[in-house]
Structure 1
Amino acid sequence: MSITTAVSVLTTASWLAAVALLVVLVVRASKRRTTKGIMTVFVVVVVLALALTTISAGLVFVEPHERGVVISAFSPHGYRETPLNPGLNWIIPYAESVIYYPISKQTYTMSIAHSEGQVQGDDSVAARTSDGQEIFIDASVIFKIDPTQVVDVHIAWQSRYIDDLVRPLTRGVIRDAISQYRVDEVVSTKRFDITQQISDELGNQLNSNGLLLDDFVLRNITFSAEYALSVEQKQIAEQQAQQAKFVVEQKKQEAEQARQVAQGKADAAVIAAEGDAQARLIQAEAEAEALAMIAQALAENPDLLT
């Protein structure tokens, strides 16, 4: 239990005791009984309750993830120029009050999904590319209030810094960045460059308003129905062209295979014919040589014929 909570509990208990004593006093007075001792206790309890109420109004505890802006009736500007830091602080009772601001990270999401972002329904950012195509951007901005500029944020924006600063500023920066690129660049080669450009510009503008950009997330890109249809038709045409090219290449390969088979057969026929011719030539030469040898033998031995 914190000190401020304990003081508040004691203050409440004191006032309850004062009310109870007042009831006892009224009852005893109506019965004409003595109230001198009870009256003294009642006065002491009331004084104690007033003192605790004053202390409770002046004690302020700031959580580690918060900073406090003090609205003061005694300050020339109506507020303290220095925010309250985490821990136990003291303000002037009844003359000053504290407005708390979180300095932890906050996320603001704009999405086409109906229940994903801070706004219910389609909250994606509609933007046009340099070639006139409409696209829809889902994005998240992670930011926090600069602890040193909490007072400035309060003066300029109060609690409206999300709806009146972060949201419109982010949507405008996204549209400006997308308008500098073609649709094919947005969805492919330039996506990282676009994200970096948006982060740099958004960070500068938030910083000038007392906020620190932690990260910008380009979550999703959705095309218009017309462009999505044209992309689908283009993909189908490209697939058909690839299929036709594949069929042509396949036919070329089949024709080459048939030519090679035919060439092989032709070469085999030529080789076979050459082989037959060579065999016949050898056979003829052999027969002629045999006849020559017979003729020589007869010439040398005529008696062989008798």
Structure 2
Amino acid sequence: MKAQSQLNLPTIILGIFAALVLLIGLNSFIIINPGQAGVLSILGKARDGALLEGLHFKPPLVSNVDVYDVTVQKFEVPAQSSTKDLQDLSASFAINFRLDPLQVVKIRREQGTLQNIVSKVIAPQTQEAFKIAAARRTVEEAITKREELKDDFDLALGERLDKYGILVLDTSVVDLAFSPEFARAVEEKQIAEQQAQRAVYVAREAEQQALAEVNRAKGKAEAQRLLAETLKAQGGNLVLQKEAIEAWRLGGAQMPKVLVMGGNSQNNVPFLFNLGDLSDSELPQPVAKR
């Protein structure tokens, strides 16, 4: 029994040694996948040179590798500022960025984790960049020239984050808000503009109506002139005849069944009456022959 234990002891030791070698061997290499970059630290000190995608050796037991995601990241960051005319302006920006793979060692030494990068670098620098962009224009210009505001913001933010190893790919203004006082002022201005436009419309409409009245008056005067010339050529009594007929038409009387003219139709006013309005007793009676 004792001899068997002595025979198994070398086997056990060999097995333990093989396991240790295998464990050390497995911990001596690391694979960096596409979209990642690593920082090698030996005994707590970061080594220069980023570990890019591929297989890399690292000293076993005394080293550690911090892996960073260098693909595109997106965070939404709020910001507040005052405009050139001292109006409060707030915005929310969606920022697309990624870490520079060649500067992850610097990022590891200065910032640490991605959460620290967002909270300690991106958020405050976004605030400062927005202050620079907003201070160059009034609040009304910030709203009406939103693209120019965004361009100034992108330029300021890109310059500030580049020195931290952060590459800004794109930004977008998610929300842009101003103070309630300015909102009321804008509403009042819009109402005043609408009222002014309404006044211009009413004035133009009145002008068109007046012009139409002038044209109608001119047309009526011309018609009267032509009528006067015609009547003058045929005698003045025709004027009275025309006026009598016009008065009959405007009065709404029924069409007369009898129109009596004088012997000289050119000089007498027509006499109009309706036979239907007369009773039988009023009609002329035939005289019997003897």
Normalising by the smaller structure, the TM-score range is 0.7 to 0.9
CA distance in 1, matches of 2:230, 2:7: 147
The corresponding residue for 1:129 is 83
Separation (CA, whole Å) in 2 of partners of 1:68 and 1:214: 22
For residue 72 of structure 1, what is the aligned residue in structure 2?
42
In structure 2, the residue matched to 1:61 is 31
Per-residue CA deviation, residues 70-108 of structure 1 (Å, 9 max, x unaligned), is 1113xxx92210111111111000111101111111112
Secondary structure of the residue aligned to 1:99 is strand
Q: Which residue of 2 aligns with 1:264?
A: 219
What corresponds to 1:152 in structure 2? 106
2:228 alignment counterpart: 273
- Structure with greater proportional strand content: 2
Counterparts of 1:72-111 in structure 2, within 5 Å, are: 72-73=42-43, 78-110=45-77
Q: Which amino acid aligns with 1:208?
A: K
Tell me how far 1:129 sits from its aligned partner: 0.8
- Match of residue 296 from structure 1: none
Deviations 1:193-240 (A, max 9, x none): 222222122112211111111112223311222211221121112112
Give the drift of 1:58.
1.3
Report the alpha carbon displacement of residue 167 of structure 1 after superposing the two structures with TM. 0.9
User: TM-score, with normalisation over the residues of structure 1?
Assistant: 0.71
Counterpart residue type for residue 117 of structure 2: Y
Return 5+ residue gaps in structure 2 as ranges. Answer: 237-290
After the TM superposition, which residues 108-187 of structure 1 pair with which residues of structure 2 at under 5 Å, given as runs? Answer: 108-110=75-77, 124-159=78-113, 160-187=116-143
Partners of 1:71 and 1:35 in 2: CA distance: 44
Match of 2:158 in 1: 203
- Whether the 8 Å CA contact 2:79–2:126 is kept in 1: the answer is no
Structure 1 residue 184, shift from structure 2 partner: 1.6
Pairing 1:46–2:2 present: no
C-alpha distance in 2, partners of 1:61/1:240? 71
Counterpart amino acid of residue 173 in structure 1: A
**Structure 2 Cα separation of the partners of residues 89 and 196 of structure 1:** 41
Q: TM-score, normalised by structure 2?
A: 0.75
Shift of 1:32: 8.5
Q: Partners of 1:271 and 1:44 in 2: how far apart?
A: 135
Contact 2:38 2:50 in 1 (8 A): yes
| CA distance in structure 2 between the partners assigned to 1:194 and 1:237 by the alignment | 27
Q: Distance in 2 between matches of 1:33 and 1:134?
A: 90
The CA deviation string for residues 10-38 of structure 1, in whole angstroms up to 9 with x for no partner, is xxxxxxxxxxxxxxxxxxxxx98944554
Q: Which residue of 2 aligns with 1:287?
A: none
The Cα offsets for residues 223-282 of structure 1, whole Å up to 9 and x where unpaired, read as 22221122112111211221222122212212221222122112101110012223449x
> Which structure has greater helix proportion?
1
- In the TM superposition, residue 39 of structure 1 has moved relative to its aligned partner by 3.8
Which of 230, 241, 248 aligns to 2:185? It is 230
- Give the aligned residue type for 1:245: V
| C-alpha distance in 2 between matches for 1:262 and 1:207 | 78
Residue 249 of structure 2: aligned partner: none
Residue 59 of structure 2: SS of its match in structure 1? coil
Would the aligned equivalents of 2:46 and 2:109 in 1 still touch at CA under 8 Å?
no
* Structure 1 CA distance for aligned equivalents of residues 163 and 21 of structure 2: 44
Q: Percent identity?
A: 26
Structure 1 unaligned runs (5+)? 1-30, 111-123, 282-306
Aligned residues: 235
1:140-193 CA distance string (max 9 Å, x none) = 2211111111111111111111110111001111112101101121111x3222
SS of structure 2 residue aligned to 1:213: strand
Q: Given residue 250 of structure 1, which amino acid in structure 2 is its aligned partner?
A: E
